[in-house]
Amino acid sequence: MTRFAELCGLHGPAREQAAQRTARLIEAAGLELVRIVWCDVHGVTRGKTLVASAVRRALDEGIGMVSTLMLKDTSDRTAYKVFERGGTASLPGFGFANNLVLLPDPESFHQLPWTAATGWLRAQPWFQDGTPVELDTRRVLQRALARLDKAGLSMRCGLEVEFHIYRITDNTAQVDPEQAAWPGLPPQVQMVHPGYNLLAESAFDMAEEPLRIVQRTAQALGLPLLSLEIELGPSQVEAVFDVTDAMTAADNMVLFRNGVRQALRHAGYHATFMCRPPFPNIISSGWHLHQSLVEADGGRNAFQRETPRAGSTPADAAHTLSDLGSHYLAGLLEHARAMAVFCTPTVNGFGRFRPNALAPQSVLWGRDNRGAMLRVIGQCGDAGTRIENRIGEPSANAYLYMASQIHAGLDGIERRLQPPPATDSPYGQADAQLPTSLGEALEALRSDAVMCDAFGRPFIDYFATLKTSEQQRHDAAEDKADFHRREYFSRF
């Protein structure tokens, strides 16, 4: 009998060895449960928990997953009318809450450090006939990386992730059945440091207990954590990760974000990766994505330039970036408005784009300029030369964020686009502004033919349907603050 992994074209000697190795690790560690986890379009991990003895079979045959999990907006409402005739006509393979199959990757095994005798495996969804579900966001990044590979390039990424940690003071409202709602309330919290004292050692000392949990969780999961820092805002912190290949970086972001929230919750803390928590005087959180391209032949940084281009000035991209890097930069600028919704995908996140707030407002680049949307870092001869995108929010889906960079940058390379001079006034006048709302960002995406074709029109329509549901519910909410509290603070 054909195994499901064979039907998908995945089974082979290497995968069989990996599956056997994972089974041995589970047995040797005395694990009782293993979570089979998938990352949804909103960056949230979902899945099923198997008893340890059921895992080996799941590695070959997968486990069933209701298809409506892929059709949820941020409130967990199904955005398609799955039980009406034609309700999923635009989504071949979906309908009537049918089953998909989650197939775990045996190479992704981790033992969870915050809960007893529990393992973790990353999975991706497949249709029951063994064909891939192309709407899966990890598959979207896989396609983008395959396109990059055809150009003889790969992507390297480093992560700077800001978020907020609060101590839970009262969880009554969240678990009181008399107050249950859709979405539910978050817990009552207090800050772990008062803020407005950037990188203060005394503030780190105040927040050391939860930050130690972050540190130990990240390291136990094998994540390349470099530093933990006190950010400017009240109760705001930052985690910085070393550079890896793009897919590893995206997988690490998913694992870090969801793992840290759970580990801190076990210890009585509430961590949130929403951009702007629902309190007065907060500072928005960003997710700064450092990126460069690497030549497949030899691994050289393709953005690196040895000497400035003749006749260039420091305001010119080609003074520091290679010609390929300059074209890539120009592509990011060309499609900045369209890719914004993949970098900042929530209603909440667009409140971050304010002047003089270390967050961008305009479609500009700058040389080591933290007010610009794109910050070019490095000097001639510097193997660490890179571009930092500063428009991301920390709740963004990592796979879509990175895929948007690849598609935009490759268009710049293929059309040999040239960037304008670097800005020295990031909050001054500019030809193009970043979108100021989720609705505007979705419209910018729909109107960009290059990005729609790169992601595929079916995916764009699917993504826009889910996000439009979110925008419409926000517009209809009488109490906007309560919407943000329930929709994002409670869940992200």
Does the CA dihedral 286-322-226-120 come out positive or negative?
A: positive
Beta pairing partners, 404: none
Angle at which helices 323-334 and 398-414 cross, to 10° = 120
Q: Residues 443, 464: contact at Cβ < 8 Å?
A: no
Only one residue has tokens 């889910």, namely: 466
Structure-token pair, residue 90 = 């635009």
DSSP summary character for residue 314: T
Question: d(Cα 404, Cα 392) in Å, to the nearest integer?
Answer: 11
- Pairing status of strand 153-170 against strand 99-104: unpaired
Strand, coil or helix: 235: coil
Separation of first and last alpha carbons in the chain: 42
b (16+ CB within 10 A) / e for 444-475? bbbebebbbebbeeebbebbbbbbebbbebbe
For the question of whether the overall pTM of this predicted structure is more than 0.85, the answer is yes
Give the mean pLDDT per block of 10 residues along the chain (492 residues): 88 94 96 98 96 97 96 95 92 94 97 97 97 98 97 97 97 89 92 94 96 98 98 97 98 97 97 96 95 93 93 90 97 97 96 82 92 93 94 97 98 97 86 93 97 97 96 94 93 91
Q: Which residues contact 478 (CB under 8 A, 6 or more apart)?
A: none
Structure-token pair, residue 26 = 């589970």
Question: d(Cα 259, Cα 187) in Å, to the nearest integer?
Answer: 19
Which sequence spans correspond to the domains of the chain?
18-133, 145-489
Residue type, 393: E
Angle at which helices 438-446 and 457-476 cross, to 10° = 160
Question: d(Cα 151, Cα 23) in Å, to the nearest integer?
Answer: 38
Question: d(Cα 34, Cα 26) in Å, to the nearest integer?
Answer: 8
Return the pLDDT at 1.
Answer: 65
Question: d(Cα 464, Cα 443) in Å, to the nearest integer?
Answer: 9
Question: d(Cα 481, Cα 7) in Å, to the nearest integer?
Answer: 48
Strand, coil or helix: 258: helix
Q: Among 3.40.50.620, 3.40.50.850, 3.40.47.10, 3.30.590.10, name the CATH number for the domain at 145-489.
A: 3.30.590.10
Only one residue has tokens 């540190």, namely: 215
Return the pLDDT at 420.
Answer: 94
**Check whether domain 18-133 has CATH 3.10.20.70, yes or no:** yes
Torsion from C-alpha of 59, 250, 42, 7, nearest 10 degrees = -30
Question: d(Cα 104, Cα 34) in Å, to the nearest integer?
Answer: 11
